[in-house]
Structure 1
């Protein structure tokens, strides 16, 4: 059904196999920093118009690959598609973040939650298949979801938050309700990722974007446990082909060893963690993904190259490194800076391996 893969460097790195160079992709690589993305979004009329249209989603997923020799594509979608399918009414106002028409803050709202019919997310799975075909084997395709805790933050807050007051109040005052919310969401996420794999995703990633806002102890109970619940339900592969998993917890450096103990192939780290020390902590249990500060891309080219080389040097010639940013790329990033980064990572990582 799909063309043979021509560049498997990313998948080999996730499996901690030797590679000729360090593969690279960027979180939010298809986005507003690209003028062609903005043009396509304008045609679509809205973010959801873009994300729910298979042709547009395919087009914007491939746009960064036309500009830069990246080693993976990632499905263009949003982490909030699952709670939207649960009936919470997702919308994106111009210049604002996501909003839900209905929030989940009391016993009745939590009791009403159910794992959604995956047909409500058919547009996502159709986009996965369309993108995979359009890639024609150029690079692998990553599918993804938000973690149960991160989705719960949006579901309870009704959108983004600066203080997580509502979700933490529910967590501390009614942990029984929070556990019920997280369990249903985790089962929905697992089903969602399995369907993405079936549709053609060659790796899957769980974005625990807000795990780092939790206190120690609460993180293990309300975030880590439900990421584990997701991973434990995922298929190991499709048609005999293994599908690697990545878990990224922003602000999760404190719990790196525990995250690495999940049933995952790779752990994403943000820019607050020294990647050399991280590798020493996890050994060869998992690959590591990361971890350049996205704001480095506003610096002059020589500084971008210097900072990228520093991360590569700290990791060394060991197998199991996927270069990435420590979080999503800023919409204000000059595309020329991305070109500098990609070239520097590929060139310097080849040099490191030649010396090893």
Structure 2
């Protein structure tokens, strides 16, 4: 075990979130939300300023405050670091911007083997010290676990190759199929970056990590297993000796859930397309599940949100190893009051779901 005895994860080992990650019994179902910090919160809009999101992330005091805002407002059971999955590759010189309303964009996308030279080894203390400073600030303030994260090799590769978010991932799939040697070399580089980034966050104080493979659902199960699985598996394997929970999340990954679990995750997050009882069946009894309310439901009136949340809880059936979350990130137009009430509902009813009513 590489983490020291005074690491926050030891003091927080009895928290509902960490216990649920280990499939242990809990006093209440833990809940946190992907993108819980950000544009849906008025307090975020008040302090965010006019700079870019990457500039905000590079300001440790600001990034820490943004991370803390949803913790104060909602009473969630875990905080997730305010950062972005493209921060490491941008920091090593493969220039990426995050354009509002668009997402990550790359002026000079990855095209051939020569571009591998642009992906050097990440040295977190040198390249992203502001991320680690943010983590250190947060663990002094928080009384709940902090989740660190990184982008999975496939999803980062997709951004670097496509140059922007893509519906088809056509260039990515073309490179993957036509130049498999270059593809696997690229995935090796991106795996190294993800490992270094998450390891450094844990050593700075994060109590868990999540690997975001947002676009893995664009792949068939066969292609995922051949071109992506070995690299995600290596990421999880390299982090195992830290002995903190490792979560794995993607969108549209119904047919990949068993492989995502087999890759070595302690927790698999699912989107809203598959009921949690079926998610459990696919990931197996040794893996905790996270999810999976449709974020769009949270734009509806409270009775609708309440009914759908109870359906998620019913599917989880109060069994150990469930972390309530949305099936993707909080939408910017979400009313914070809805999320406040949702946290209260999950805490109150999570272990004993009420029967559904018409």
- SS of the residue corresponding to residue 339 of structure 1 reads helix
The 5-angstrom pairing of residues 164-175 of structure 1 reads 164-175=169-180
Shift of 1:287: 0.3
Aligned to 1:75: 81
Contact 1:115 1:185 (C-alpha < 8 Å) held by counterparts: no
Contact 2:94 2:119 (C-alpha < 8 Å) held by counterparts: no
Aligned to 1:314: 315
CA distance in 2, matches of 1:17, 1:181: 38
CA distance in 2, matches of 1:92, 1:230: 25
Shift of 1:107: 2.0
Shift of 1:26: 0.3
State whether structure 2 residue 92 is matched by structure 1 residue 86: yes
Contact 1:2 1:132 (C-alpha < 8 Å) held by counterparts: no
- SS of the residue corresponding to residue 37 of structure 1 reads helix
The 5-angstrom pairing of residues 189-208 of structure 1 reads 189-208=194-213
State whether structure 2 residue 117 is matched by structure 1 residue 130: no
Contact 1:194 1:235 (C-alpha < 8 Å) held by counterparts: no
Residue-by-residue CA offset, 1:274-303 (whole Å, 9 max, x unaligned): 101222333421000000000010111111
CA distance in 2, matches of 1:100, 1:337: 36
Contact 2:54 2:87 (C-alpha < 8 Å) held by counterparts: no
Between the two proteins, the alignment pairs up a number of residues equal to 346
Residue-by-residue CA offset, 1:161-218 (whole Å, 9 max, x unaligned): 1221221221122111111100111011111111111000000000010100012311
The 5-angstrom pairing of residues 108-127 of structure 1 reads 108-118=114-124, 119-127=126-134
Shift of 1:350: 4.2
Runs ≥4 residues deviating over 6 A: none
Q: 1:224 aligns with which of 229, 247, 255?
A: 229
- SS of the residue corresponding to residue 234 of structure 1 reads helix
Shift of 1:66: 1.3
CA distance in 2, matches of 1:259, 1:96: 27
State whether structure 2 residue 337 is matched by structure 1 residue 332: no
Give the TM-score normalised by structure 2. 0.92
Shift of 1:329: 0.9
RMSD of the TM alignment (CA)?
Answer: 1.8
Contact 2:31 2:77 (C-alpha < 8 Å) held by counterparts: yes
CA distance in 1, matches of 2:184, 2:63: 34
Shift of 1:245: 0.5
Q: 1:12 aligns with which of 7, 19, 34?
A: 19
Contact 1:83 1:155 (C-alpha < 8 Å) held by counterparts: no
CA distance in 2, matches of 1:93, 1:256: 31
Shift of 1:244: 0.6
Structure 2 stretches lacking a partner, 5+ long: 1-5
Residues 1:219 and 1:196: Cα distance change in structure 2 (over 3 Å): same
Aligned to 1:152: 157
Residue-by-residue CA offset, 1:132-185 (whole Å, 9 max, x unaligned): 1121xx210000001000000011112211221221221122111111100111
- SS of the residue corresponding to residue 150 of structure 2 reads strand
CA distance in 1, matches of 2:309, 2:179: 45
Structure 1 stretches lacking a partner, 5+ long: none
Aligned to 1:96: 102
